[in-house]
């Protein structure tokens, strides 16, 4: 395995990881996208571990910093964050194609990285696969119930009975002022989340194009239960999409055991591209 620091167009900084043997360019190159403001190593160095494991299985990968994150300077061309991120991904794919012979790509993203991977896959037909981790944060009736149950469970810890039973209980206040089944405004501002209708149309478009997707959810945020994705998109039915739920993992896969489980899931899934 070799790891090489690279400078992409617009001064984007990345690391290209390749197997020791000559890369099979018929396999897609895996491209890791930033999770929020975490630089290219990924949360808890998750991208580094995944890149090295994929290299051992013969897949090249690129993990790079979007403009304004990590070691990559911000763009000065006045682009919006939305447009700049899509251009950064296009530049990264172009770099791999021109310098290392990769012609197809699998995008991997967690949280905001999943949002970007979804949009970039729609915009670039060279993308043949995507791993979307904790993307599509849309509430369902059941997910709201799970969320309320967690709030009640928290109140029951220790000596919080009086707080729970009192009329000023924060749980009762939240129940009286229950929000609609949409992501919170804060989540929308911090993430470039597509609307639910946009996501549904995009999923149909990607599967019709033959793009394979691995959707991974954890219960750490608003993705509360195993059938959440299916309940959110009941009309999206395709053997191109695999959905996995990790009930014991948190959003950033802090525990090594959860990282190992995610690595096994991704490496087994990506074998379909051999």
Q: Residue 59 in contact with residue 19, Cβ under 8 Å?
A: yes
Instruction: Specify if 219 maps to a domain.
Output: yes
For residue 198, give every residue at least 6 positions away whose Cβ sits within 8 Å of its Cβ, in sequence order, or none. Answer: none
Specify whether the CB–CB gap between 67 and 80 falls below 8 A: no
End-to-end CA distance of the chain: 19
146 with 66, same domain?
A: no
Please tell me whether residues 167 and 197 are part of one structural domain: no
Q: What is the DSSP letter of 43?
A: G
Query: Could you list the residue range(s) of the whole structural domain that residue 251 is in?
Result: 2-138+192-273
Task: Give the mean model confidence (pLDDT) for residues 152-177.
Answer: 57
Please count the other Cβ atoms lying within 10 Å of the Cβ belonging to residue 98.
10
Percent of the chain with pLDDT over 90: 62
- Identify whether residues 256 and 149 lie together within a single domain: no
Beta-bridge partners for 132: 109, 215
* pLDDT interval class at 9 (50, 70, 90): confident
Q: Are 43 and 166 in a shared domain?
A: no
Q: Answer yes or no: is 260 within a domain.
A: yes
What is the DSSP code (8-state) at residue 254? -
Task: Kindly state whether residue 183 falls inside one of the protein's structural domains.
Answer: no
Percent of the chain predicted with pLDDT > 70 = 80
Tell me which residue of 271, 257, 255, 253 sits closest to 216, measured CA to CA.
Answer: 253
Q: Are 252 and 246 in contact (CB under 8 A)?
A: no
Do 152 and 24 reside in the same domain of the chain? Answer: no
Cα-flanking dihedrals φ and ψ of residue 203, to 5°? -65, -40
Residue 148 and residue 113 in one domain: no
At residue 189 the predicted structure's pLDDT band, cuts being 50, 70 and 90, is: very low
Residue 183 has pLDDT above 50, yes or no: no
pLDDT digits 0-9 by tens, 109-126: 999 999 999 999 999 999
Same domain, 269 and 205: yes
pLDDT range class, residue 188, cuts 50, 70, 90: very low
- Residues 134 and 217 sit within 8 Å (Cβ to Cβ): yes
């Amino acid at each position: 395995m070799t790891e090489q620091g690279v400078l992409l167009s617009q001064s984007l900084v990345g690391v290209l990881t390749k197997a020791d043997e000559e890369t099979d360019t018929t396999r897609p190159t895996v491209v890791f996208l930033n999770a929020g403001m975490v630089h290219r190593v990924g949360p808890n160095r998750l991208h580094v571990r995944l890149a090295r494991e994929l290299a051992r299985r013969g897949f090249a990968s690129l993990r790079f910093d979007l403009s304004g994150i990590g070691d990559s300077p911000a763009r000065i061309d006045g682009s919006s964050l939305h447009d700049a991120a899509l251009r950064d991904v296009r530049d990264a794919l172009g770099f791999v194609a021109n310098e290392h012979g990769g012609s197809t790509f699998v995008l991997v993203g967690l949280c905001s990285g999943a949002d970007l991977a979804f949009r970039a896959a729609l915009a670039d037909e060279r993308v043949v696969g995507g791993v979307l981790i904790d993307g599509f944060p849309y509430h369902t009736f059941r997910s709201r119930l799970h969320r309320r149950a967690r709030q009640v469970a928290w109140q029951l810890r220790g000596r919080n009975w009086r707080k729970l039973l009192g009329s000023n209980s924060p749980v009762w206040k939240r129940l009286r002022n229950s929000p609609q089944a949409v992501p919170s405004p804060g989540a929308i501002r911090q993430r470039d989340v597509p609307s639910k209708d946009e996501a549904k149309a995009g999923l149909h478009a990607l599967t019709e194009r033959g793009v394979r997707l691995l959707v991974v959810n954890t219960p750490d945020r608003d993705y509360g239960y195993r059938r959440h994705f299916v309940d959110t998109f009941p009309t999206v039915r395709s053997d191109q999409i695999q959905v996995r739920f990790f009930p014991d993992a948190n959003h950033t896969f802090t525990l090594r055991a959860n990282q190992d489980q995610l690595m096994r899931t991704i490496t087994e899934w990506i074998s379909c591209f051999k």
